[in-house]
Amino acid sequence: MSALFAPIRLGALALPNRIVVAPMCQYSAEDGRATDWHLIHLGHLALSGAGLLILEATGVVPEGRITPLDLGLYDDATEAALARVLDGVRRYSDMPLGIQLAHAGRKASSRAPWDGGALILPEDGGWTPVAPSAVPHGADEPPPQALDAAGLDRVRRAFAQAAERSARLGLDLVELHAAHGYLLHQFLSPLANRREDAYGGSLENRMRFPLEVFDAVRAAFPADKPVGIRISASDWVAGGWDLEQSLAFAEALDARGCDFIHVSSGGLATAQQIPLEPGYQIHFAAAIRQAVKMPVIGVGLITEPEHAEAIVAAGEADLVALARGMLYDPRWPWHAAARLGAQVHAPKQYWRCEPHEARGLFFGMRDGKR
């Protein structure tokens, strides 16, 4: 039996296989509101046969969006727009759906990647980002505004309120975004966090605010639905956040009842040096998996089904996430199941496309007939 296609649970949520569609920013919202693009994008990914689909990084406040085009979940209008999209997706797919709640911190107010990704100044239609400390992301950028006590409280409450909205939308899972150089990652890393209060300095202090946000979201989201987190296990910069600190953070989350941890890396510092190769982050996931009870999701340049199978079979990660690879091949789980001799869920409307050489690929098919 394929390890990749074995069922698993994240808390009380049952998944039919170990393939996760990772969150992927689309930069296609209108004032934070989901659009028809999201219906098309999520709709076809929800037919992919993966075990779980996690929506893109979703701003919990307008100023927490990476770009003005980011998805948001911070008022009734953004909630209603996302409800319309989710209703359309669920009409034809029963795939579990999660959401990644995020705040971009000092990386907010940026242009979309296809427009260069540079910081947008307030006089050009952007806004002043907030961060743990007044330390800019790029050397040529103005500093962000350091969050004071009232600001910390606003952000903490915004995450909790977005979790409440996620629950009303019927989402199955929440993933907190503490990776890729965004706000919660900025609190963790000594390269971005220069605070001298209870939220800066020691590792315990730097972990304090992300853990408070986790606690607030966990309290706001239904107890029978999983809450997890995505981290960057390393800044890939000397003196920055690293695996040893990630292990301590993962253990603290595990003790709080975190349901899963999604292990990525990088994104905080422009000086990062990342040795890109297939599975380049999996050794981080494997180390964290040895230290915690909760399931671990591995991610990073995993494109071949046999590679994903080997990762899960070897116990390096409990699940494998794909992002760019899933955009390139939205039926990747189908093709993986065919190569690994497994079965996958597919919509009835597509059953007749089952290849002759992979008969029995789709659950529900009988002798190639409907």
Q: Write the pLDDT tens digit of every residue in 79-95.
A: 999 999 999 999 999 99
Q: Which residues constitute the domain of residue 63?
A: 8-330
Rounded Cα distance, 241 and 115, in Å: 29
Q: Provide the phi-psi class of 74: left if phi over 0, else alpha when psi is between -120 and 50, else beta.
A: alpha
- For residue 20, the cross-strand partners are 52, 321
β-strands 8-10, 13-15 pairing: antiparallel
Rounded Cα distance, 32 and 12, in Å: 30
The H or E element that residue 4 is part of is none
The CATH number for 130's domain is 3.20.20.70
Q: Is 227 helix (H, G, I), strand (E, B) or coil?
A: strand
In a domain, 134, yes or no: yes
- For residue 188, the cross-strand partners are none
Is 111 a residue whose pLDDT tops 60?
yes
Is 367 a residue whose pLDDT tops 70?
no
In a domain, 366, yes or no: no
Average pLDDT taken over every residue of the chain: 96
Q: What is the DSSP letter of 301?
A: S
User: Residue 366's pLDDT is what?
Assistant: 58
What count of other Cβ atoms lies within 10 Å of the Cβ of residue 238? 9
In a domain, 344, yes or no: no
Q: Is 7 helix (H, G, I), strand (E, B) or coil?
A: coil
In a domain, 370, yes or no: no
Phi, psi of 57 (to 5 degrees): -50, 120
What count of other Cβ atoms lies within 10 Å of the Cβ of residue 78? 23
DSSP string, 59-83: ESSGGG-SSTTS-B-SSHHHHHHHH
Catalytic residue among 27, 74, 92, 182: 182
pLDDT of 64-82, one tens digit each?
999 999 999 999 999 999 9
The domain tally of the chain equals 1
pLDDT of 278-334, one tens digit each?
999 999 999 999 999 999 999 999 999 999 999 999 999 999 999 999 999 999 999
DSSP string, 25-38: -----BTTB--HHH
User: Residue 364's pLDDT is what?
Assistant: 79
Nearest of 76, 138, 129, 137 to residue 103 by alpha carbon: 129
Is 41 a residue whose pLDDT tops 70?
yes
Instruction: Output the pTM of the full model.
Output: 0.96
In a domain, 365, yes or no: no
Is 370 a residue whose pLDDT tops 70?
no
In a domain, 360, yes or no: no
CB neighbour burial string for 139-169, b if at least 16 within 10 angstroms, e if fewer:
eeeeebbebeeeebeebbebbbbbbebbeeb
Kindly indicate the confidence band of residue 368, based on its pLDDT and cuts at 50, 70 and 90: very low
- For residue 332, the cross-strand partners are none
In contact, 187 and 193? CB cutoff 8 Å: yes
In a domain, 14, yes or no: yes
Look up 182 and say whether it is catalytic.
Answer: yes
In a domain, 262, yes or no: yes
In this prediction, residues 219-236 reach a mean pLDDT of 98
Is 141 a residue whose pLDDT tops 80?
yes
